[in-house]
Amino acid sequence: MTKNDFIKLIASKEPQLEAYYHNLPEEVFQDTELFFHLKLFLALPEPVFLVWGVEPYFLPNTKALKYDGLIEHFSKLKAFPANQSQILLLENRVFTFEFHPIDEQQPHFQKGILYVKEESSTDQHDAQILEKLPVAACIFSTKELIVTAANDIMLSYWDVGKNVIGKPLQQILPILHDQPFIALLQNIFRTGEIHTSTQAPARLLRNGMEQTLYFDFTYVPLKDDKGNVYAILSTASDVTARVHLNRKVKAEQQQFLDLFENAAVAVAVLDKNLVFEKANPFYLSLVNRTAEEIIDRPLLEAIPEIKGQGFDELLLDVIASGKPYAAKSERAEITKNGALQTIYVDFTFQPLVLETGEIEGVFVIVTDVTQSVIVDADNKSKEATLQSILENAAAGISLFVGRDLVIELPNKKIVELLGKGPDVAGKKLTEVMPELLTENQSIIGILHGVFDSGIPYSTQDSMVKIVHDGVLLEKYYNFTYTPLFDENKNVYAVLQVAIEVTDSVLARKKIVEAQAALEQAVDLAQLATWQYNLKSSTLIGNRRFTDWFKNVDALDAEYLEFQKFLENIATHPEELQGKTDFRDERVKIEPQTGKKRIIVSAVKISYDDEQKPEYISGTSQDVTVLRQKEEELEKLVAKRTKQLEVVNSTLEQTNQSLEQSNKALAQFAYVASHDLQEPLRKITTFVKMLASHLTEKDSRTEIYIERIINSSERMSNLIRDILSYSQLSNGETKFVQVDLNQVVSEILADFDLVIEQKNAVVHVTDLPTVSGIKIQLSQLFGNVISNSLKYCHDSRPPRIDISYTAVTGDQVTDLNLRADLNYYQFTIRDNGIGFSQEYAEQIFNIFQRLHGKLEYSGTGIGLAMCRKICENHSGAIRSSGTEGIGATFDIYLPALQS
């Protein structure tokens, strides 16, 4: 506000004072120090303009006097609302004032002109004064609190109109009857003392609804010349919003203070020479120093270990440039407990600038983020682990981004389920799986529905037609589609989790089919099924069970007896002794016909988690006809038994004759082979002698001689093998524990020269001990290993792998093994010439060979002997092979001979 502006203001308010204020010194409007103190002088009853300043300027008037109340009042104010009429009551006198700031850009700064005027009091004048006030105001007269004047602001607080003027406050606002305001006003009439309250709660009606509001209000007694209170001036301001805001601010401040109190924030101030001026406890703790070790000491002297770490250079650069510097997660070395320790900090270096623009130092804010850095590193590791888990999850996971359903972040499993190759990321789902459209499948519509609604969708056992390797297949999946939202709460993608359940769905279908077939079989077998609940003592069954055990009108005796039998199981579970299955047989007499019916029940007991019987279920069958057949069969069996005794007697005589014949045959085979060996040796010997005495031999003669010798040797081997084969039936039959590791080791020792010549590799796992005849087991494994070495492939060194596994007889159904015995399955696998699978059985026949005698040596008896040895041990042998690849022999021997 310039001096001319001020003169215009005076002229508009009090023209007669224009000349006086026109002559005021110019420094009134220029000297800033003039406005720092308040001294108020007032010339009454004339209105006056006051100028704030060290030296007061006031209206010269012979009636001027010092008014301490006004001085005290205005000296407590921090600022005046600009250009607004205000009301002031002091010692039963009413003043109005206005504040006009000199600087309009700083309307609340106390530098300006104050216009003060004392008002006379009449009802009409009071109302006019109150209407000018920017706050709610009213006047109550007499102890009945008659409202003689009230401005529109007060009436709006009360939610009433002008028609309330002249009425008692209690009639206007009956809601105040249990609030303190009526009593306060009546007390002021008695005491004559001013009452002021701030942020006082008041319950008032607004639009017919009771609300709690908050007010700053003052009750000022108006007194007559004798000092008696004749009225009360009430002023009020609605501060409800401020109360709520203050509460919010206090809550936020408290929250901020709590956060600040617990935050690891270090603060320090250094001068331009990097000397510490201040450091808070967090900073001292961070650098592991006391205030005495830091304050008034240079940085590198107080914390020498940071020399060379670059912090002092950064600080000097901030001082030189005047530009702040900030960094995050910087590494620092600080001495703690006598040793350098690595910490990580976020820091800001802020230059401290004087009004002259000179840099006087640096404000340092440091946050210890060591733990955060460690956690971040750990989180990155965990994130990588999570990514690996998702990538290798058993469920197919991917994102469909946008309504075009672009595939993003597919894991290995979803790529496998789609079966479209690895390059599906970034492609539209309909591009990767056009069959979703061509086959009119619902998946695209479902995904669009999730985009539109933002609601997750899941389904179980959903069938999808999908093309794999050019073939359209029906697969079953469990799907979950979850919408993902952006910051605007809009769906930007859908997360898919898919698990293929084709096998389980098909298995359930088979179970349903099997259950249907079972029900049909039960019906065809004329079985009755039932279940007895031991806890509720209820017995239920199918129609056939009901027909057997219930009359039309009442339960029959057999039914009651059967139920009693089941109840006895429930009340005496100790009799079960852990049983789960048993049988029951009872005779039922049909009451109408007297016919006897024999019913057999297969009973099964189910136990709860505490191993207490819970259910008894079973199937029952009418075996009356079967029992009759059994009786007839028993008679027939008795008759046939007598006939069988006669046949057995004859068979025993035949067996004795057969044994004698076998002994004679074995003796013959031995004698024949022994007698044949001698002539063959002589033939071989004489041919060799003849060859040595012939001085001149042509090539044809040498060929003949060689053929005679070879034929003699093959005949000798054949006779020897026939003798060995015949002895398998009549040799040792005593079984002992045989360590097959030792047996195979001895065999390999015998073949060590052949193994070395052929560069063969033989790998043997640790083998078990079995019950058997050692010499026969040596022949068995020796013949198979010999064949693997003999029939090796020309293009690769032989490899033989010998291993075993334990099996039961009922697991091998095609070799007639005993189901009640445990077996060892020995597998001998080679990489030799192999054979066609059609010869897998033929090679075990005696004298059967798959190759000519000139290609591979042998008599064709070795594998026949192997089968005979396995049969002697209640075992079996079989082979499999692939021509040019190799052969495999599986030998089954009992773990323990019966």
Please give the average per-residue pLDDT across 773-798, as a whole number.
88
pLDDT digits (tens, 9 = 90+) for 208-257: 899 999 999 999 888 877 888 888 889 898 999 888 887 886 677 456 44
How far CA 567 is from CA of 227, 533, 573, in Å, comes to 105, 10, 10
pLDDT value at position 573? 54
Please, is 847 exposed, middle or buried when counting C-beta atoms within 10 Å of its C-beta (0-12, 13-18, 19+)?
A: exposed
User: What was the pLDDT predicted at 34?
Assistant: 31
Average confidence (pLDDT) over 338-365: 86
Helix (H) or strand (E) run with residue 718 in it: helix 699-727
Torsion of CA 538, 543, 549, 551, to 10 degrees: 110
Distance between CA atoms of 654 and 656, rounded to whole angstroms?
5
pLDDT at res. 621: 77
Query: What digits encode the pLDDT tens for the residues 641-683?
Result: 888 887 787 777 777 776 666 666 566 666 655 666 666 666 7
d(CA 530, CA 283): 82
Between these two residues, 711 and 724, which has the higher pLDDT value?
711
**What pTM was computed for the model?**
0.31
In angstroms, how far is CA 78 from the centroid of its own chain? 61
Terminal-to-terminal C-alpha distance of the chain: 125
- Angle CA(654)–CA(660)–CA(663) in degrees, nearest 5? 140
The full length of the chain comes to: 898
Percentage of residues in the chain having pLDDT higher than 90: 21
Question: Is residue 21 scored above 70 in pLDDT?
Answer: no
CA distance 228 to 775: 141
pLDDT, tens digit (0-9, with 9 covering 90-100), for 373-427: 888 877 777 767 666 766 777 788 888 898 899 988 888 888 888 888 888 888 8
pLDDT bucket at 877, cuts 50 / 70 / 90: very high
Return mean pLDDT, the chain: 77
Integer-rounded Cα Rg, in Å, for the chain is 58
Alpha helices in 801-897 (DSSP H): 862-872
Residue, of 763 and 724, whose pLDDT is higher: 763
Instruction: Give me the residue label for tokens 């040796």.
Output: 681
Kind of pairing between the strands at 761-764 and 799-808: parallel
Q: In this structure, which long-range contacts are made by residues 184-192, counting pairs with CB atoms below 8 Å and at least 24 apart in sequence?
A: 184/219, 185/140, 185/145, 185/219, 185/232, 185/234, 186/143, 186/145, 188/219, 188/221, 188/229, 188/232, 189/143, 189/221, 189/229, 189/232, 192/221, 192/223, 192/227, 192/228, 192/229
How many whole angstroms separate alpha carbon 88 and alpha carbon 71? 12
* Percentage of the residues of the chain whose pLDDT score is greater than 70: 70
The per-residue DSSP string of 3-67 comes to HHHHHHHHHHH-GGGHHHHHTS-GGGGT-GGGGSS---EEESSS-EEEE-SSS-B----TTEEE-
Look at residue 141 and tell me whether its pLDDT is greater than 60. Answer: yes
Per the model's pLDDT, the better-predicted residue between 744 and 10 turns out to be: 744
The pLDDT value recorded for residue 261 is 43
**pLDDT reported for residue 66:** 39
Tokens standing for residue 546:
């009901």
Going through 163-309 in order, the beta strands assigned E by DSSP cover 195-206, 209-223, 229-238, 265-271, 276-279
pLDDT digit string, tens, across residues 43-79: 233 444 443 333 333 333 323 333 444 445 555 444 4
Closest CA to 872 of 655, 668, 727, 659: 727
Identify the pLDDT of residue 307: 92
Cα 866–chain centre separation: 59
| Structure token pair of residue 671 | 């004698």
pLDDT confidence bin for 706, thresholds 50/70/90? confident
423 alpha carbon, distance to own chain's centre:
27
Q: How far apart are CA 378 and CA 684, in angstroms?
A: 87
Cα dihedral 539, 545, 551, 553 sign: positive
Q: Is 177 exposed, middle or buried (0-12, 13-18, 19+ CB in 10 A)?
A: exposed
Whether the pLDDT of residue 871 is over 50: the answer is yes
Q: Is the pLDDT of residue 105 over 70?
A: no
Scanning 263-328, the segments in alpha helix (DSSP H) are: 281-287, 291-294, 299-302, 311-321
Q: Which two tokens stand for residue 830?
A: 């080679």
pLDDT top residue among 850 and 498 = 498
Range with top average pLDDT, 345-349, 586-590, 719-723, 863-867: 345-349
Q: Residue 451 pLDDT > 70, yes or no?
A: yes
